[in-house]
Amino acid sequence: MFRVLLGMGWALGLAACSGRPPPESITPVSEAQLTPELRADYDVFAQRCSKCHSLAKPLNSHVDDDDVWIRYVAKMRRQPASGISERDGEAILRFLHVLVEQERAKNAEKSK
């Protein structure tokens, strides 16, 4: 029984790390915006941030200020289980900056 559960865990882990593009239902970043560099940043974001909470939390936060993310990522880096290195934090912030820009654009459109 233990081997079956262990095998299922490995299979789920491999599926989660398959490198497929994020579905539109998960991230508001379109496939066209996912340059290879941004894709790498998204992968770090998805791997590290999902260790402690659902990705829906940051993706649906409607934050339009980079400073908010800078403080939040710094806070999360201090969490022992996060595994977020300084380099990871920089990648995460680059990805989150795209979300900030999208939120600013939506807010500007609403205020017209």
Length of the chain: 112
18 is a domain residue: no
86 is a domain residue: yes
66 is a domain residue: yes
- pTM assigned to the model: 0.73
Helix (H, G, I), strand (E, B) or coil at 110: helix
25-72: pLDDT as tens digits: 456 677 777 788 888 999 999 999 999 998 888 988 889 999 999 999
The CATH code of the domain that includes 57 is: 1.10.760
Provide the residue range defining the domain that includes 82: 31-110
The answer to whether 29 and 42 have CB atoms below 8 angstroms apart is yes
26 is a domain residue: no
Band of pLDDT at residue 2, cut at 50, 70 and 90: very low
Report the domain count for the chain. 1
State the sign of the Cα–Cα–Cα–Cα dihedral 95, 97, 103, 105. negative
97 is a domain residue: yes
Whole-angstrom distance, CA of residue 97 vs CA of residue 110: 20
57 is a domain residue: yes
92-110: pLDDT as tens digits: 999 999 989 988 988 888 8
